[in-house]
A and B are shown apart, each in its own frame.
Chain A
Amino acid sequence: GAGVSQSPSNKVTEKGKDVELRCDPISGHTALYWYRQSLGQGLEFLIYFQGNSAPDKSGLPSDRFSAERTGGSVSTLTIQRTQQEDSAVYLCASRRGPGRRMETQYFGPGTRLLVL
């Protein structure tokens, strides 16, 4: 596709359930990022994938959060045992590569997660 796509666009779940959020980056982009946008915390970095390197997980808020990227393309963010404070918009972004000239990140429309 032409841009970054994310699914679902909206997700409502009950506290304690697990959820999976999907991101399809722009074709050929080797770098992929997950961010979270919430009222209290603004926009915050969660995790970063670059090619086949080990991901940078330094932004994940707890061990209930994990992500994987299969085949260097699609990524799934999983939140286990969801809590109400996990309610936020989860944004995915991709970038052509690691170099300075390829540094612009392109964002998907986000997944709005509501934990009841």
Chain B
Amino acid sequence: GDSVTQMEGPVTLSEEAFLTINCTYTATGYPSLFWYVQYPGEGLQLLLKATKADDKGSNKGFEATYRKETTSFHLEKGSVQVSDSAVYFCALSGGLDNAGNMLTFGGGTRLMVKP
């Protein structure tokens, strides 16, 4: 079945540091890939997505590129802010084993940004 693996946290960075959160996946077919973010006390929000190989999703300064050859979708941001402190989830849907397009999530990575 489909699966998503992302780096364990917490990741602690100083403000303006460069961020990478690694995400790799296993799926048959051509799934869509997502990053969701959960701010403290809030629900899951879609951060960005990519629907096919070599697509780049971007939002709020975050970027991730769909790499089929390495089955990866790493999240990056050039300069993090304190307000980026949250839990980040990598997810996929739409693999061949997934007719209902339910999301398969990674375990989440907590990011803490210090001023």
Contact = CB atoms under 8 A, between A and B. Distances in A.
Interface residues of A, number: 24
B40 interface: no
A33 B103 CA distance: 9
Interface string A15-44: 000000000000000010101000000111
A91 B43 contact: yes
The 7 closest A-B pairs by CB, nearest first: A43-B105, A107-B44, A109-B43, A45-B102, A48-B100, A56-B100, A42-B107
Interface of B: 32, 34, 36, 42-46, 49, 51, 89, 91, 93-94, 100-108
Contacts of A45: 102-104
B103 A110 contact: no
B95 to A, nearest CB: 12
A85 interface: no
Contacts, number: 52
A13 B26 CA distance: 38
A90 to B, nearest CB: 11
A102 B105 CA distance: 19
B52 to A, nearest CB: 10
Contacts of B102: 33, 45, 48, 56, 59
Given A43-B89, A43-B108, A98 B101 contact: yes
